[in-house]
Structure 1
Amino acid sequence: MGRIRWWALPCAALVLAGAAPVAVAEQVRDGRSQPVFAAEPVRETVWVETGLDGDGDGVIDRVAADIARPAGTDQPVPVIMDASPYYSCCGRGNENEFKTYDDQGRPLGFPLFYDNYFVPRGYATVLVDLAGTNRSEGCVDVGGPSDITSAKAVIDWLNGRATGFDAATGGNPVGAGWSTGDVGMIGKSYDGTIANGVAATGVEGLRTIVPIGAISSWYDYYRSDGVSFGFDPVGLAQNVEEGGRPDCHQVKQELVAGAPTNGDATPLWTERDYVPTADRVTASVFAVHGLGDLNVKTVQFGPWWDALAAKDVPRKLWLSQTGHVDPFDFRRAEWVDTLHRWFDRWLLGIDNGITEEPAASIERAPDTWADEPGWSGEQAQATTLHPREDGLGTEPAPGGTASFTDDPSLDEYDWAARPDQQSPARTLFSTAPLSGDLRLAGTGSVTVTAVPSTPTAHLSAMLVDYGPATTRDYLGQGEGIRTLQTESCWGESRPGDDACYKDTEATTTDVDFEIIARGWADLANHESLSAERPLEPGKRYAMTFRLATTDHVVPAGHQLALIIGGTDSAFIVAPRQPGQIGLDLAQTSVTLPVVGGLPAVTSARVDAAANKPPQVRPDRVPARPEVQLNRD
């Protein structure tokens, strides 16, 4: 028999410990679940079998699921789950909270506000230690079968399809009769990535996911179209395992072998790409991503969203100007309210109208948001602009070439800071000041026909909005927010589990340009990302590579520029033999995702008084990132 949904039982009663029965109608009032479960929650740990033996000890691995659920009711409740590798190594949230336990080893402190806020409203909160982390057995494999299965197994247990125990080894079987089996997964970064990966299995019982700054392809986290970002998954695995587990040596060796430093795509990366199986997703999706996120870059969001849209998965989207920041810390009150109604709709079945509200919300200026019925990036028109000797325009170049010499000591900020000056290390093509606003929303690409002077060549490309603006300071230490000393509380505080968090505010900066999309590639992978080919100096090679997903309005009067260079030292590793690269302009272009049409675009001639190249004041150059990129 399937799980009973309590909202389908209008005559049932919800019983509080030590209190009179509470009618269902009292728990749901004004279209929202109410905090009627005032008793101390039941807090327990269940160890769930994953069906895997990642550490090779001959025993099926068990993962620890720490649970907080309403006490005093015999009606089953749905689950909000955050499956994470960070509960003991690194902490969660802006204040780096860790799990804590009492003297008997029972869970006490739950990071983040989910248990404080939602358990009194009739939800259980389940925080899962991914395999190989904290109190779970097994090994971390960075988005692979072990990671995904260890979270999916808990959903299976909640639905009666897997076995749980009251101890890490041995112990007695434990069921989840208190649960409806309906699960919503949520989490930022690695946690949200696991939500994406589990949803892509199509597991029954997962009703919604809320991925925040999440990965959809681990290849795109560590590599980009054949180039390496200079770090590898084994380092992250060892970090979350708090130094690495000796019995997981074989798994680490497989990570090293499967992730070659040359940037080639391999079966290891294919296994960790959730986009191709997005057609299995049955859960609704509420995605959040920072357009300034240079850790989990926006290329993670765009293809995943496109795949969900192709299947018409119920979905909602927030795009902020921040970097790698949780919406609890950049739009707190609105976030808690929206998340509350989202979970009420998909886990409690409350018809509260949230699916009829604007589905997309985009931050256009610090703390200024624009709503639209659906994300316009889904209707963007692919529009091609062409680099020319006189700038960037709609007409292909009649001919001509450009060239640059790869200088691995420079980066994109060096290239963009002096657009009115020639540079041997990059080429820059700019429009004249735009006659109207230009909105780019979606994932673009660059096509080059390049001639290398050495057997190895790396390429970097970026779109730059030149013109004065005030933006969130997403390159600064807080990635667009500042933590204050005041606090606000969200839910019930209990001994050892505080519901109060420091407030935040937006940090802003005045700039004369903003890099709005980036992409990198190894020209040796022009035929295939799975195998590079040595380049023949002097030979022409054609290659198309992606730019990161964006949603940006270039205002009228600003200028849009395309920069193409070699090694962007802020992100990628230099080739073995950096050299000069020539571009055939007639066979080079940029494809933009344009919403609402392209305003009149003319090239900016360096020698034309009416169309001067962009100008940048030295005091209004964006700072290089102060944050450590690719930290989780």
Structure 2
Amino acid sequence: MPKSVRRTRFMTWRPLATAAVAALMAAFLVPVAAHGAPRESAPVYSYANAIRESVWVDTGLDGDDDGKHDRVAVDIVRPAEPARQGHKVPVIMDASPYYSCCGRGNESQKKTYDANGHVVQMPLFYDNYFVPRGYAFVGVDLAGTDRSDGCVDVGGRSDIQSAKAVIDWLNGRAKGYTSRTGTTTARATWTNGRTGMIGKSWDGTIANGVAATGVRGLKTIVPISAISSWYDYYFAKGAPLYDSGPDWLSGYVDSPDATAKCASVQRKLVDGAPRTGDWTPLWTERDYVKDAAKVRASVFLVHGMQDLNVRTKNFGQWWDALARHGVERKIWLSQTGHVDPFDFRRAAWVDTLHRWFDHELLGYDNGVDREPMADIERHPDQWSTSAVWPPRTTSAATLRPGAGARAGVGTLGLTRRSGTETFTDDPTHGETDWAAHIDRPTADKAGFTTGPLTRDLRLSGSSRVTVTATPTTATAYLSAVLVDLGPDTIRDFAGSGEGINTLTDRTCWGASTAGDSSCYKVTEAARTDVGYDVVSRGWADLGNHASDQGAVLTPGKAYTITLDLAATDHVVPKGHRLALIVAGTDKDLIDPPADTPTLTLDLSRTSARVPLVGGADAFARATKGSTATRAASVLDGVHAPRTALRVPGDNH
């Protein structure tokens, strides 16, 4: 059962006289070290009278080659009262390419402006909720989008500098102007420079990238469904995840000005991201994981464990790198796909985010840093916690496949086995087809299962599957999936809402104005009954067996390659079975190779390194006395995953 969210309140706030308000404001912004400082910010400032202004910050770059430094548009909503009292406020910032082209959130909100060009509606609830509580909210248009100069370079230097320059400006290290082309300067005298970045998908990716620069003043980031390495958004060890590249994505969000000016940047995106899946300098520039040692900010990470848009390898490798460098961090993992926590756990999310920002940006000792590190959704709307993630007792167990009595139906255990299994790539089938037919031989897969478990078995972290395979053709792709075989009720992540249904009623989160409502449509969990659940996936081009550059295969020759499986946290219950499936093209999740290979697995040199709580001993205990027999019946699983989206900021 989930634990209730702890919420400590310092006091209950009531309307106060003007003098009392002034005194409260002064106390509100005093560092926590002061005796009697509050433990939670309260809505004591007027949202209706908040200052709304726009500034254009000099990025120091000339991405559109017009001979002038690019300026990015920064829309600001901040409380008016603190400045009048001589107090400075911290900043919550969302830097996005989507403010004009596509919108943000489940309701696709866009920025709107008045006749003077000042922002009227800021998407999402952040300004409505946090500005009355003493924060400024800043919405940055990435270079090449909306009202900003420059070009979109999809996670590259220009993207990251768009946001980093704003943090520098907030801390007095960069120049800002009151207009896009004018010379009148603007200074951020109203802020203390302490900034937290937040955002989903591309927005959260920018937060990761900016944190990886080590910029001073960035105190925390909250990346939601975010990319940590753009290569791993487009490819999995050479196997293409999409039939398009970053040039398509750039064109999707470009402003009309950028479209006309940025042909050379588009060309670089095409040339630097070949469809071969080879690693190039373009991907090195867009790999934030390699710079995790520079991160000064704390990280509150959120991801759907069934996100088939920004696949979960992105959060797993980022989390592991942050852990190696001792970064303060917290994590939420849901059963959803590419969904914001505001839409799968709204009340708890707003409460936790509020306390996180209070702690990280206002310095309040509210205990959020002493709560469990991880919240994990086990069943729809049922959450558990872990003091640390992965749990300290987690270690990798090496699981080995063995040939069964029938070809294509094998066993999974701790003992090295000999023998071979053969399958033929069928691009019309995918993981749901393989799992549904796990207990009978099919030509498109090799499947291996434990017997029914005698106790629960928990996977926590990232798995790796090493395969030795002999192809019959010059090209071949591989897929490996881990499957929980047994009946369950889960979120319908393959449905149109990726695990949520959107209703018509609304709830309100903060103050509203005529032009910016804080009220949003209620959502509920979309549930489905299944007979199996694919819990982790990985893919590879066998041609990348020796390096990050693909090579032509020699038919009849054996090759060994390791597939990185997506990070997850999943409990396989007592009575269920754990399965490993190795196959070719995973329909709708990777694109097929040029050939149609048949591959023969050498089982003695094939294994899965699976992070288990309790390690190999836990696996041995859970499988003791079990027999890998065929189940009496297997229910249908979830529908085949819908075609993977090509827009990392998709709002559903």
TM normalised by structure 1 equals 0.94
- Matched residues in 1 for 2:188 and 2:18: separation? 19
2:133 corresponds to which of 116, 121, 124? 121
Q: What is the match of residue 237 of structure 2?
A: 225
2:39 corresponds to which of 7, 31, 34? 31
Q: How far is 1:191 from its partner?
A: 0.4
Tell me, yes or no, if the aligned pair for 1:417 and 1:616 is still in contact at 8 Å.
Answer: no
Deviations 1:491-534 (CA, angstroms, capped at 9, x unpaired): 110121111111111111100001011011011110001x2221
Is residue 2:637 matched to residue 1:621? yes
Tell me, yes or no, if the aligned pair for 2:237 and 2:540 is still in contact at 8 Å.
Answer: yes
- Matched residues in 2 for 1:453 and 1:626: separation? 30
Q: What is the match of residue 463 of structure 1?
A: 482
Q: How far is 1:19 from its partner?
A: 9.3
Aligned partner of residue 23 in structure 2, secondary structure: strand
1:156 maps to amino acid: D
Deviations 1:172-206 (CA, angstroms, capped at 9, x unpaired): 00000001000000000000000000000000000
Is residue 2:609 matched to residue 1:591? yes
Tell me, yes or no, if the aligned pair for 1:431 and 1:601 is still in contact at 8 Å.
Answer: no
2:59 maps to amino acid: T
1:229-240 correspondence runs (5 A): 229=241, 230-240=243-253
2:73 maps to amino acid: A
Deviations 1:16-72 (CA, angstroms, capped at 9, x unpaired): 999962334764775111111125110000000000000000000000000000103
Aligned partner of residue 23 in structure 1, secondary structure: helix
2:98 maps to amino acid: Y
1:591 maps to amino acid: R
- Matched residues in 2 for 1:503 and 1:30: separation? 31
- Matched residues in 1 for 2:21 and 2:181: separation? 39
Q: How far is 1:614 from its partner?
A: 4.1
Q: How far is 1:419 from its partner?
A: 1.3
- Matched residues in 2 for 1:470 and 1:398: separation? 34
2:50 maps to amino acid: P
Q: What is the match of residue 291 of structure 2?
A: 277
- Matched residues in 2 for 1:235 and 1:288: separation? 26
- Matched residues in 1 for 2:292 and 2:630: separation? 44
1:132 corresponds to which of 133, 144, 166? 144
- Matched residues in 2 for 1:25 and 1:18: separation? 11
The 1:379–1:127 alpha-carbon spacing in structure 2 relative to 1, beyond 3 Å, is farther
Aligned partner of residue 404 in structure 1, secondary structure: strand
Name whichever of 56-65 and 473-482 sits farther off: 473-482
Name whichever of 409-418 and 232-241 sits farther off: 409-418
Deviations 1:348-400 (CA, angstroms, capped at 9, x unpaired): 11111111111211111111111121112565201111110033333444421
2:68 corresponds to which of 56, 59, 76? 59
- Matched residues in 1 for 2:244 and 2:638: separation? 25
Deviations 1:526-582 (CA, angstroms, capped at 9, x unpaired): 0001x2221111111111120111100001111111111111122112111221111
Aligned partner of residue 454 in structure 2, secondary structure: coil
Aligned partner of residue 620 in structure 2, secondary structure: coil
Is residue 2:98 matched to residue 1:86? yes
1:381 maps to amino acid: S
Q: What is the match of residue 10 of structure 1?
A: none
Q: What is the match of residue 347 of structure 2?
A: 333
- Matched residues in 2 for 1:137 and 1:525: separation? 39
Aligned partner of residue 286 in structure 1, secondary structure: strand
Is residue 2:632 matched to residue 1:631? no
Q: What is the match of residue 394 of structure 2?
A: 380
- Matched residues in 2 for 1:450 and 1:133: separation? 46
Q: What is the match of residue 32 of structure 2?
A: none
Q: What is the match of residue 49 of structure 1?
A: 58
Name whichever of 189-198 and 470-479 sits farther off: 470-479
- Matched residues in 1 for 2:447 and 2:643: separation? 27
Tell me, yes or no, if the aligned pair for 1:318 and 1:362 is still in contact at 8 Å.
Answer: yes
Tell me, yes or no, if the aligned pair for 1:392 and 1:562 is still in contact at 8 Å.
Answer: no
The 1:32–1:326 alpha-carbon spacing in structure 2 relative to 1, beyond 3 Å, is same
Is residue 2:141 matched to residue 1:99? no
Q: What is the match of residue 555 of structure 2?
A: 537
- Matched residues in 2 for 1:614 and 1:40: separation? 65
Aligned partner of residue 586 in structure 1, secondary structure: helix
- Matched residues in 1 for 2:21 and 2:118: separation? 28
1:406 corresponds to which of 398, 407, 425? 425
The 1:226–1:451 alpha-carbon spacing in structure 2 relative to 1, beyond 3 Å, is same
Gaps of 5+ in 1: 1-14
Aligned partner of residue 195 in structure 1, secondary structure: helix
- Matched residues in 1 for 2:562 and 2:253: separation? 36
Q: How far is 1:617 from its partner?
A: 3.8
Tell me, yes or no, if the aligned pair for 2:612 and 2:619 is still in contact at 8 Å.
Answer: no
Name whichever of 443-452 and 593-602 sits farther off: 593-602
Is residue 2:375 matched to residue 1:361? yes
Aligned partner of residue 117 in structure 2, secondary structure: coil
Q: How far is 1:246 from its partner?
A: 1.8
Tell me, yes or no, if the aligned pair for 1:404 and 1:424 is still in contact at 8 Å.
Answer: yes
Deviations 1:254-296 (CA, angstroms, capped at 9, x unpaired): 0101111011111111111101101100101100111111111
- Matched residues in 2 for 1:535 and 1:616: separation? 40
Q: What is the match of residue 320 of structure 1?
A: 334
Q: How far is 1:602 from its partner?
A: 9.1
- Matched residues in 1 for 2:338 and 2:187: separation? 37
- Percentage of matched positions with identical amino acids: 56
- Matched residues in 2 for 1:473 and 1:37: separation? 41
2:510 corresponds to which of 475, 491, 502? 491
Tell me, yes or no, if the aligned pair for 1:377 and 1:593 is still in contact at 8 Å.
Answer: no
2:133 maps to amino acid: R
- Matched residues in 1 for 2:624 and 2:475: separation? 32
- Matched residues in 2 for 1:384 and 1:612: separation? 22
Tell me, yes or no, if the aligned pair for 2:198 and 2:204 is still in contact at 8 Å.
Answer: yes
Deviations 1:419-447 (CA, angstroms, capped at 9, x unpaired): 12211111101111111111001111111
Aligned partner of residue 162 in structure 2, secondary structure: helix
Tell me, yes or no, if the aligned pair for 1:441 and 1:552 is still in contact at 8 Å.
Answer: yes
Tell me, yes or no, if the aligned pair for 1:419 and 1:614 is still in contact at 8 Å.
Answer: no
Q: How far is 1:615 from its partner?
A: 5.5
Q: How far is 1:315 from its partner?
A: 0.8
Q: CA RMSD in A?
A: 2.0
- Matched residues in 1 for 2:338 and 2:632: separation? 30
Tell me, yes or no, if the aligned pair for 2:79 and 2:132 is still in contact at 8 Å.
Answer: yes
Aligned partner of residue 389 in structure 1, secondary structure: strand
2:613 maps to amino acid: V
1:600 corresponds to which of 609, 620, 624? 620
Tell me, yes or no, if the aligned pair for 1:420 and 1:615 is still in contact at 8 Å.
Answer: no
**How many residues are paired up?**
613
Aligned partner of residue 148 in structure 1, secondary structure: helix
2:589 maps to amino acid: F
Q: What is the match of residue 540 of structure 2?
A: 521
- Matched residues in 2 for 1:319 and 1:328: separation? 13
Q: What is the match of residue 480 of structure 1?
A: 499
- Matched residues in 2 for 1:602 and 1:480: separation? 30
Q: What is the match of residue 568 of structure 1?
A: 586
Q: What is the match of residue 349 of structure 1?
A: 363
Q: What is the match of residue 108 of structure 1?
A: 120
Gaps of 5+ in 2: 1-15, 30-36, 405-409
2:493 maps to amino acid: Y
Q: How far is 1:99 from its partner?
A: 0.2
Q: How far is 1:242 from its partner?
A: 5.0
